[in-house]
């Protein structure tokens, strides 16, 4: 068993709890990051943006780069396949947006991304990966901004890349590497392989962050104890449960994890979430954006179908307040939901969609396929 870390150091950046919120498209906007940060310390990463979109001034990309006024540590995940675009994008983030941490996404399993050699497909091309990381680190170094990377085990069980990716990350000056213990082919199905995280910890000297199947604070402690990871990356486990970051902060500092919230406390959290979305986006759009979160917040509670349906159509804070009144504040948290998966799972992919001839060589320098300017998924 490894000692439990209480903080995380990424180059010049110190995070008071070794917990990172994974970027999730359409979820981890400024309002949600603020909501989670109000619960406990950690590193809260902006939704993934594309390097090309940023460099070319794509309006959608720029609109995603919004930060809350209390967001003192600005963290952004960047996607790209071209070392030159990545370098320019990192410089823009550091110089124009005051970003304190840049993460590079090499874990996205979505076919429209892997088809172009991006996301989880890219680490197969070891030479290209090295070029991209070198370019990003060179652009960030004058600003003393740490660069990290997120990846998966590999394309599938026959094409593993994570150990090479870790070595290349270390050689190019990357501050840490996060490993999602699944292959691209698995997407979000099955169980995460924590043994792979252990193997990567043994393989490199830079900090390794573990990702996959952290549903409760106890899972995070178990992961770092089992694997020796320097911290954890939490994605789907916090959907509808931003208080997970409160529990994680307590657990990593040896304190008692808070009791499970009653429906009354969950109700208050829902109201705060909608309020923050409205502050950032305007009330109508903020309430529409909130709708997708209703099912996650109420998962396992006995709230009736009609009430859930009306909450999923909410269009104003006043309407939301009326509907929330109908939730029983005394109802206890459904303990049967503890440790169960949240968000997307799905089935493994029949095969990973790759550019033609992608597997023919493992170098790939100069082989990048031009990405779309507005690619917005996570990994």
Work out the number of other CB atoms within 10 angstroms of the CB of residue 278: 20
> Which helix H or strand E contains 15, and what residues bound it?
strand 13-15
Q: How far apart are CA 62 and CA 69, in angstroms?
A: 17
Q: Are the CB atoms for 341 and 236 separated by under 8 Å?
A: yes
Structure tokens at 11: 């180059």
CA atoms within 13 A on the CB side of 169: 31
Annotated active-site residue in 36, 94, 108, 238: 108
Distances from the Cα of 238 to the Cα of 23, 216, 220, angstroms: 12, 9, 12
Which residues have C-beta within 8 Å of that of residue 242, sequence separation ≥ 6?
32, 35, 36, 38, 39, 269, 273
Q: Is 94 a catalytic residue?
A: no
Q: Are the CB atoms for 2 and 140 separated by under 8 Å?
A: no
Distances from the Cα of 243 to the Cα of 42, 123, 165, 295, angstroms: 12, 34, 33, 16
φ, ψ of residue 348 in degrees (nearest 5): -60, 150
Work out the number of other CB atoms within 10 angstroms of the CB of residue 75: 26
* Residues designated as active site: 108
């Amino acid at each position: 068993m490894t000692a439990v870390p209480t903080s995380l150091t990424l180059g010049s950046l110190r995070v008071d709890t070794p917990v990172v919120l994974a970027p999730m498209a359409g979820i981890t906007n400024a309002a949600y990051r603020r909501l989670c940060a109000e619960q406990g310390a950690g590193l809260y990463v902006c939704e993934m943006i594309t390097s090309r979109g940023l460099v070319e001034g794509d309006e959608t990309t720029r609109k995603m780069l919004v930060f809350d006024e209390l967001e003192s540590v600005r963290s952004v995940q960047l996607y790209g396949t071209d070392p030159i675009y990545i370098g320019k994008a990192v410089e823009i983030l550091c110089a124009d947006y005051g970003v304190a941490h840049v993460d590079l996404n090499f874990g996205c399993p979505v076919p429209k991304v892997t088809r172009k050699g991006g996301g989880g497909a890219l680490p197969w091309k070891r030479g290209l990966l090295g070029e991209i990381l070198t370019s990003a680190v060179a652009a960030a170094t004058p600003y003393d901004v740490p660069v990290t990377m997120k990846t998966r085990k590999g394309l599938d069980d026959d094409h593993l890349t994570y150990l090479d990716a870790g070595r290349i990350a270390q050689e190019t000056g990357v501050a840490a590497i996060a490993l999602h213990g699944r292959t691209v082919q698995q997407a979000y199905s099955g169980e995460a392989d924590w043994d792979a995280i252990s193997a990567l910890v043994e393989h490199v000297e830079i900090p390794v962050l573990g990702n996959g199947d952290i549903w409760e604070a106890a899972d995070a402690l178990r992961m770092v104890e089992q694997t020796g990871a320097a911290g954890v990356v939490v994605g789907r486990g916090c959907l509808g449960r931003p208080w997970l970051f409160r529990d994680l902060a307590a657990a990593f500092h040896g304190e008692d994890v808070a009791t499970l919230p009653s429906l009354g406390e969950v109700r208050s959290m829902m109201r705060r979430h909608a309020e923050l979305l409205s502050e950032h986006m305007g009330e109508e759009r903020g309430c529409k954006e909130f709708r997708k979160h209703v099912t996650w917040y109420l998962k396992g509670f006995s709230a009736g179908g009609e009430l859930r349906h009306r909450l999923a159509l909410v269009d104003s804070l006043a309407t939301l307040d009326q509907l929330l009144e109908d939730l029983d504040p005394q109802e206890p948290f459904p303990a049967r939901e503890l440790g169960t998966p949240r968000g997307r799972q799905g089935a493994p992919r029949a095969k990973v969609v790759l550019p033609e001839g992608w597997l023919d060589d493992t170098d790939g320098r100069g082989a990048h396929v031009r990405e779309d300017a507005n690619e917005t998924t996570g990994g």
